[in-house]
Amino acid sequence: MTFVHKGFDETRRLGLQSETEQIVRLASPLEETGMLVVDSVVPGGPAYTHLEPGDILVRVNGEVVTQFLKLETLLDDSVDQKIVLQIERGGKSLTVNLVVQDLHSITPDYFLEVSGAVIHPLSYQQARNFRFHCGLVYVSEPGYMLFRAGVPRHAIIKKFAGEEISQLDELISVLSKLSRGARVPLEYISYTDRHRRKSVLVTVDRHEWYAPPQIYTRDDSSGLWTAKPAIRPESLQLSSAVKYMGQSVTSQTVLPSGEETHAKHVNLVNNLELADGVTCMETSDGHSSEEPHSREESDVGTKKRRVSDLSANGIAVTDCSLSETGEVKSVDSSTMESEVSRDYQGAMTVTTNASFAESVIEPTLVMFEVHVPQSIMLDGVHSQHFFGTGVIVYHSQDLGLVAVDRNTVAISASDVMLSFAAFPIEIPGEVVFLHPVHNYALVAYDPSALGAVGASMVRAAELLPEPALRRGDSVYLVGLNRSLHATSRKSIVTNPYAALNISSADCPRYRATNMEVIELDTDFGSSFSGVLTDEQGRVQAIWGSFSTQLKFGCSTSEDHQFVRGIPVYAVSQVLDKIINGAKGPPLLINGVSRPMPLVRILEVELYPTLLSKARSFALSDHWVQALVKKDPVRRQVLRVKGCLVGSKAENLLEQGDMILAVDKEPVTCFCDIENACQALDKSGDNDGKLKLTIFRQGSEIDLIVGTDVRDGNGTTRVINWCGCIVQDSHPAVRALGFLPEEGHGVYVAR
């Protein structure tokens, strides 16, 4: 309980009798001006049913007490003993017998650490602040797993995986029964809304981003906190199918098998409410997208329906018409699946006013929900949660691949959840390829996790890399809104060759370079992603989100995003290599080892310059005419902005060099350089060198420049030491143009 000191004038208004006041004044020092009054009582405490706010304390064990120091002394001398309080309540005198509780017994000396969360019994101090019982399961810090689910700091956990939780041991017991990847409901209350439980879906970490759950206990003799495992390590096994029936902890969510990756590839993400078709980040077109809001006291937003897998052995359903006899009929699973599929397809056809392209492409669209653990925020990634739309580019019995922009899937060290427009189900995905240049990623999923009905309804989009889009072409922009409904509009291509020029952020992170994107006359805003298709629904480009940083003055900057079209030929080239078998390091996807492609690139950042400007730099008329003849539309020449440190071109090309030709063939766009690099692979040239003709300071120079081979794994090694994240220097850092000479050092990411 808590006392406050109030003056005699206030205590009289609370009902203090005049006789009592005279006794107190006579027994107290001359300077005494008031008495102690009960301000609050902790629920469940010794005084909870005996004292009420407004009670006036008169005597303790027969002594008049008006000062905190004297009260504290009496209580300290009577720990675990009875004391007698004389109080006045509304003008009536009452005598109360209470047992003084030991403060150490209600001050936690241990806590549970799980997935970065700190959970412990509610202390007396917080119980007094929040008016809760001491000892309840209290979330001091939500960490990653609870933060991802939307559980705020200061929450009180009441139910987990269908079991009531009243103390920490019960929570640990439930955790020990769950497998990695299990998705179970959790109910909690907060002190700001104590009378209403909120329910969220918690995903037990599939990847070992954090150490196994541990109990830390305070050792008073040494002053240190000692740690020990909270549950047996063998309890945390990976689940194998997405299936939570909500009945008990034995009916768990289980995720697709085959989570292990190649030894050199480490697949290292609060349910924010989805904005329409959004990649929920800040990034640029002069517009600011929705900023991920704080989850400190937020309620859980997004709730998605899930469909349980149908039993392979048949489903028992009760015939309501025979309720009097209680007869139960067993329905064959194939019959049930056929009926479910037919009913759902019938429901889908109800949608009207959709273009043919939209109806064709909708079953191929996927909504991404990506979460990045705070303990492993690599490569300068600037947020922990991303949302966006991707498109299925490959779907078979044992493998599904989805293409999405890299402002939705920024790094491989993330947890990815996929929600399909074709069928109401949510399953995990694994990042298998991050293109080092083009702004897209490939994410794999296990088709068996969709169930028979879902797998039959989901399909891959037809890609149309050729012919390339031209200015004035009509396309359909199709994406998903927050309700997983397709949204589309017909647009006109205004510029199919817009060269990107994204400057480096304050904290270096991935940025798209050396690529041309597609611009439209109208779209749905800077946060709407999807695909561009022709009238038959064939995908010609990914309408993806790009991350950038706008700077205001010398010290102010903001993250922004903008959307542009990524020609699908870049996706098609890599996809063919994955499906047909590439020459590269193997990666375990859905339990099958598949060779992943390598990408040969010239690690030089380029930018286009108009030939009219190039002529001012003394470029000869011969080359101006040759470049115009090669490409009368672009009428440009590529210039070197800088070389990546450690690349084979670093000491050969200089800033400002104009690249005129490769193997004596004029080049005018980034695609020409890419094609020349790919030709080296096809020819089997082990040297991997390009014969370049460049223009430098008024002279034509022939150079032989080496190319570099990069994989799509991204950063695969990291050290987290006392909260410091250390990794190898990633390309965005190398693009700054400086690294230590000896060994190139390491990069402190955070």
Q: What DSSP string describes 326-360?
A: T-EEEEPHHHHHHHHHHHHHHHHTT--S--HHHHH
For residue 106, the model assigns a pLDDT of: 92
CA distance 677 to 690: 8
- The answer to whether residues 373 and 203 touch, using CB atoms and an 8 Å cutoff, is no
Q: Model confidence over 501-516: pLDDT tens digits?
A: 898 888 889 999 999 9
- Average pLDDT over every residue of 691-706: 93
Choose among 549, 551, 490: nearest CA to 522.
Answer: 490
- The answer to whether residues 525 and 518 touch, using CB atoms and an 8 Å cutoff, is no
Task: State what percent of residues in the chain have pLDDT above 90.
Answer: 64
- Average pLDDT over every residue of 32-59: 93
Q: Model confidence over 646-689: pLDDT tens digits?
A: 899 988 999 999 999 999 999 999 999 999 998 988 877 668 89
Choose among 308, 272, 574: nearest CA to 444.
Answer: 574
Weakest-pLDDT range from 254-258, 602-606, 735-739: 254-258
CA distance 162 to 95: 44
Number of Cβ within a 10 Å radius of residue 274: 22
CATH code matching the domain that covers 2-101, chosen among 3.90.79.10, 3.30.70.2500, 3.30.465.10, 2.30.42.10 = 2.30.42.10
For residue 745, the model assigns a pLDDT of: 77
Q: Model confidence over 121-144: pLDDT tens digits?
A: 999 999 999 999 999 999 999 999
Buried/exposed code over 54-77 (b: 16+ C-beta within 10 A; e: otherwise) = bbbbbbbeeebbbeeeebeeebee
For residue 344, the model assigns a pLDDT of: 55
For residue 387, the model assigns a pLDDT of: 93
**Residue 104: what are its φ and ψ, rounded to 5°?**
-65, -30
Considering the domain delimited by 357-595, tell me its CATH architecture.
Answer: Beta Barrel (2.40)
666 contact partners, CB below 8 Å, separation of at least 6: 623, 626, 627, 629, 630, 660
Considering the domain delimited by 109-235, tell me its CATH architecture.
Answer: Roll (2.30)
- Average pLDDT over every residue of 353-357: 83
Q: Model confidence over 505-563: pLDDT tens digits?
A: 888 899 999 999 999 998 888 889 999 999 999 999 999 999 988 877 677 778 888 99
Q: Give ∠ CA 209-236-588 in degrees, rounded to 5.
A: 65
Across the chain, what does the average pLDDT equal? 83
CA distances from 22 to 8, 95, 458 (A): 11, 19, 85
Q: Model confidence over 611-625: pLDDT tens digits?
A: 999 999 999 999 999
Whether the per-residue pLDDT at 238 is higher than 80: the answer is no
Domain boundaries, the chain: 2-101, 109-235, 357-595, 599-710
- The answer to whether residues 638 and 516 touch, using CB atoms and an 8 Å cutoff, is no
At residue 328, what is the residue type? Answer: V
At residue 416, what is the residue type? Answer: V
For residue 354, the model assigns a pLDDT of: 78
pTM, whole model, 2 decimals? 0.79
Q: Model confidence over 654-664: pLDDT tens digits?
A: 999 999 999 99
Burial of 164 (0-12, 13-18, 19+ CB in 10 A): exposed
For residue 341, the model assigns a pLDDT of: 53
Whether the per-residue pLDDT at 279 is higher than 50: the answer is no
**Residue 571: what are its φ and ψ, rounded to 5°?**
-75, -40
Check if CATH label 2.30.42.10 holds for domain 599-710.
yes
Helices (H), 600-646: 611-616, 621-630
Weakest-pLDDT range from 93-97, 223-227, 281-285, 706-710: 281-285
Domain 2-101 and domain 109-235 have a common topology: yes
